[in-house]
Amino acid sequence: MKKTIGFKNKKYLVETIITSLLILFLVCLCVYKLIQGCSRIINCIIYAGLVLVGLYWLVVEIINAIKYLKTPNELIAIDDFNIYIYYHKETVKLPFLNIIEIETKEVVKQLLSSEGKIVFKTKDKEYQVNYIKNLEEVKNKLQRIIGE
């Protein structure tokens, strides 16, 4: 019988929305300053550059939010002999015996949560799982079960 041990971190979406709103506010502020007119040409160049960087950053945040929303709520499950990794459109079944190493990679430590991923290494391939809630706790459970 499968038991889910890795769930999606819900705080990531909240952080993404807050970040996107902050970026949007700053972009609007820079556009307002551009429309108002600049006293010096260097100020106009700086504001225009900030608008471009802000819009790029906003697009990246939106893409990350879409990826997050497509990710299932249950990410990792186990039974007596296998780990099941749930992706958007597929499920990968990894026998415990094939797993060489489990490592975590903490990408960003933000205000509400830390974002990271668990990487399962086999002889042939690496499998990444993003947006894990309680990253280290899940890794420790997996290592105890597998016996690393």
> CA gyration radius for the chain?
21
The pTM of this model reads 0.77
DSSP state letter for 2: -
pLDDT tens digit sequence for 102-138 = 888 776 655 555 567 899 998 899 999 988 888 888 8
Closest CA to 76 of 137, 147, 12: 137
| Tokens describing residue 59 | 């697009």
As a whole number, the mean pLDDT across the chain is 87
* Residues sharing a CB contact under 8 Å with residue 38, sequence separation 6 or more, in sequence order: 44, 47
Percent of the chain predicted with pLDDT > 90:
41
Torsion of the alpha carbons at 93, 96, 102 and 107, rounded to the nearest 10: 20
